[in-house]
């Protein structure tokens, strides 16, 4: 990092003071009241220490921030509510776009306009009764903008394709302070980059996205004893061999904590899970699941018809900030050999602190969307995405990443596909761990055109 002279440092402090005068308590600097809460990411294992944290309320606020940052040599990173943190952020102004909270649903045109601070959990209830869905992931606490711009993996990826490709327009303030509306007509190259590497090019204030038909939804979580994980995973993989695109599942293993919020029979237990989301009726969904349920009886069956606002309950992921170390990879083929290797890795890593494993089958409409090249995200050469995490319940515990994730690296040796999604990458990983050299080169060319002075620092950096 370049060291500032005393004169430069004084000038920068004066410039930040000017911003503070304009934004008031919406601009927080080190040592001020609320500083630690403001800088805190969702993953508490990341210790980010920006030069300041800003909560702009208007486009003019954003423009002021960018003008000062550009003039004084600061960079700018956007984290609406802390997801995606990946580094210490020295000499960076961290922007929280939580005030941009507009949501407009147009059921007739099947589109939605969504502000950059809006979470999926706020959008889903507005879709109840419309027969439409957006393309969210498993956690309702994540912002729509942060998720789509970082290439998040949707519950409906097999049904309707890569979630980032549902973006039809992006409103952002660029490096010159100009508010722009980016579409396939106005700047197709930039829209391609925003669909999966959105943090590189500006402060996004709103998105317009496509909505998709889903008159009926069926799904939920199936829990099985951890000892029969191999049978569960094998049966589920066979199910996906000829499953319709309307069926989406996530296979999992979890070491459940021995705490009060876990039902007594499951406390401290290891379970295998199959999370299901099917665009269709309960009758059709139950017919698809019948071979799996005939092979092994679940401990708990939470499947049912549901409405969009209940989608977050399927995986029931935590929404409160926590500390975690994580890992992900793309697997070449969804077969028994790969699945059994991952289950063995889960068991081997458990003593080192591993909490969970996920396997997300790919294919269906996602593969078709890749061929269409509508955005940088989603170009995955493989049969599944897998993710593992060690959630650190005890703040005094230190997790050894090597000890936890080495078994997974070994399990994927010779079985890996290529590509990944930035939203699934572990701590310290960058865009080069997700995208091909050709895609990175194209992103770099767009970056040189729209942000030649590197004002914007993505949570996942370009090489």
> Could you read off the pLDDT of 410-460 as tens digits, one per residue?
999 999 999 999 999 988 889 999 999 999 999 999 999 999 999 999 999
- pLDDT tens column, 54-78: 999 999 999 999 999 999 999 999 9
What integer pLDDT is reported at residue 16 of this predicted model? 86
Q: pLDDT digits over 271-327, tens only? A: 999 999 999 999 999 999 999 999 999 999 999 999 999 999 999 998 888 899 999
Once rounded to an integer, what is the mean pLDDT over residues 7-33? Answer: 83
Q: Which CATH number does the domain housing residue 121 bear?
A: 3.30.465.10
Within 8 A by CB and 6+ apart from 263, the residues are: none
Q: Does 323 lie in the same domain as 223?
A: yes
pLDDT cut 70: percent of the chain above it: 97
Report the side by side order of strands in the sheet with 27-28.
27-28, 52-54, 92-95, 75-78
Q: Which of 51, 74, 95 is the last residue of a domain?
A: 95
Average pLDDT over residues 331-343: 98
Residue 265: which CATH number? Answer: 3.40.462.20
234 and 247 co-located in one domain: yes
Residue 404: both structure tokens together: 């936890």
C-alpha atoms less than 13 angstroms from C-alpha of 302 in its C-beta half-sphere? 18
Return d(Cα 177, Cα 159) in angstroms, integer. 38
Helix (H, G, I), strand (E, B) or coil at 109: coil
Q: What is the mean pLDDT of the chain?
A: 94
**166 vs 139: CA distance, rounded Å:** 18
- Tokens representing 178? 């100009």
Question: Quick one: pLDDT at residue 369?
Answer: 59
Q: Cα separation of 454 and 340, whole Å?
A: 44
Task: Mark whether 278 and 397 lie in a shared domain.
Answer: yes
| Same domain assignment for residues 197 and 284 | no
pLDDT exceeds 80 at position 204: yes
pLDDT at 15: 80
Judge if 209 and 223 occupy the same domain. no
Tokens of 376: 């940088």
For residue 227, being part of any structural domain is answered with yes
5 pLDDT above the threshold of 60: no
Task: Transcribe 43-103 into DSSP letters.
Answer: BTT-----SEEE---SHHHHHHHHHHHHHHT-EEEE-SSSTT--S--TTEEEE--TT---E
Same domain, 202 and 128: yes
Q: Are residues 139 and 152 in the same domain?
A: yes
> Range of 39's domain?
6-95
Are 358 and 295 in the same domain? Answer: yes
Domain count across the chain: 3
pLDDT-wise least confident of 14-28, 92-106, 184-198, 352-366: 14-28
Per-residue pLDDT at 138 exceeds 60: yes
**Mean pLDDT, range 115-131, rounded to an integer:** 98
Model pLDDT, residue 9: 64
Dihedral sign of CA atoms 393, 399, 403, 405 in order: positive
**Residue 198 token pair:** 């959105």
CA 352, CA 64: separation in Å to the nearest integer? 47
Residue 204 lies in a domain: yes
In this structure, is residue 447 part of a structural domain? Answer: no
Task: Answer whether residue 341 is part of any domain.
Answer: yes
Supply the CATH number for residue 31's domain. Answer: 3.30.43.10
Does 459 map to a domain? no
53, 158: one domain: no
Domain assignment present for 61: yes
Residue 463 resides in a domain: no
Do 232 and 320 reside in the same domain of the chain? yes
pLDDT of residue 2 exceeding 80, the answer is no
438 assigned to some structural domain: no
Q: Is the pLDDT of residue 1 over 50?
A: no
Domain boundary residue among 213, 229, 245?
213
Last-in-domain residue among 213, 232, 264: 213
Which is nearest to 169 in space by CA: 141, 133, 194, 196?
194
Q: Are residues 206 and 229 in the same domain?
A: no
Question: For 153, which DSSP code?
Answer: P
The C-alpha angle with vertex 157 and arms to 154 and 159, in degrees rounded to 5, equals 130
Q: Are residues 139 and 233 in the same domain?
A: no
Given CA atoms 44, 49, 55, 59 in this order, what sign does their dihedral have? negative
């Amino acid at each position: 990092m370049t060291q500032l002279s005393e004169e430069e440092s004084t000038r920068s402090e004066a410039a930040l003071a000017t911003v503070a005068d304009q934004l008031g308590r919406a601009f927080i600097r080190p040592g001020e009241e609320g500083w630690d809460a403001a800088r805190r990411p969702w993953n508490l294992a990341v210790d980010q220490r920006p030069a300041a944290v800003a909560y702009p309320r208007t486009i003019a606020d954003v423009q002021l921030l960018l003008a000062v940052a550009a003039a004084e040599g600061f960079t700018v990173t956007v984290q609406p509510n802390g997801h995606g943190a990946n580094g210490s952020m020295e000499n960076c102004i961290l922007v929280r776009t939580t005030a941009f909270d507009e949501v407009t649903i147009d059921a007739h045109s099947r589109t939605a306009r969504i502000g950059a601070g809006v979470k999926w959990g706020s959008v889903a209830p507005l879709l109840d009764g419309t027969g439409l869905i957006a393309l969210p992931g498993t956690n309702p606490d994540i912002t729509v903008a942060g998720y789509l711009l970082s290439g998040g993996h949707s519950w409906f990826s097999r049904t309707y394709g890569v979630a980032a490709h549902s973006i039809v327009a992006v409103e952002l303030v660029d490096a010159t302070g100009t508010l722009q509306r980016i579409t396939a007509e106005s700047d197709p190259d930039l829209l391609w980059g925003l669909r999966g590497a959105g943090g590189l090019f500006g402060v996004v204030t709103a998105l317009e996205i496509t909505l998709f038909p889903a008159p009926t939804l069926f799904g939920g979580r199936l829990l099985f004893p951890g000892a029969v994980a191999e049978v569960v995973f094998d049966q589920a993989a066979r199910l996906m061999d000829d499953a319709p695109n309307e069926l989406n599942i996530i296979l999992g293993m979890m070491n459940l904590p021995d705490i009060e919020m876990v039902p007594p029979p499951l406390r401290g237990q290891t379970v295998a899970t199959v999370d299901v989301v099917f665009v269709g009726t309960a009758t059709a969904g139950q017919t698809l699941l019948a071979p799996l349920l005939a092979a092994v009886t679940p401990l708990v069956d939470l499947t049912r018809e549901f409405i969009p606002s209940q989608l977050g309950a399927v995986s029931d992921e935590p929404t409160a900030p926590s500390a975690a170390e994580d890992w992900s990879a793309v697997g070449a083929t969804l077969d028994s050999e790969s699945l059994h290797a991952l289950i063995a890795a889960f068991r081997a890593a458990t003593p080192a602190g591993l909490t969970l494993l996920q396997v997300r089958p790919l294919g269906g409409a996602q593969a078709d969307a890749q061929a269409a090249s509508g955005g940088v995200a989603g170009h995955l050469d493989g049969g599944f995405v897998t993710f593992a995490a060690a959630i650190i319940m005890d703040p005094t515990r230190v997790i050894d990443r090597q000890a936890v994730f080495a078994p997974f690296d070994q399990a994927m040796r010779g079985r890996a596909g290529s590509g990944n999604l930035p939203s699934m990458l572990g701590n310290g990983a960058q865009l080069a761990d997700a995208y091909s050299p050709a895609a990175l080169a194209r992103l770099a060319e767009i970056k040189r055109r729209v942000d030649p002075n590197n004002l914007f620092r993505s949570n996942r950096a370009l090489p």
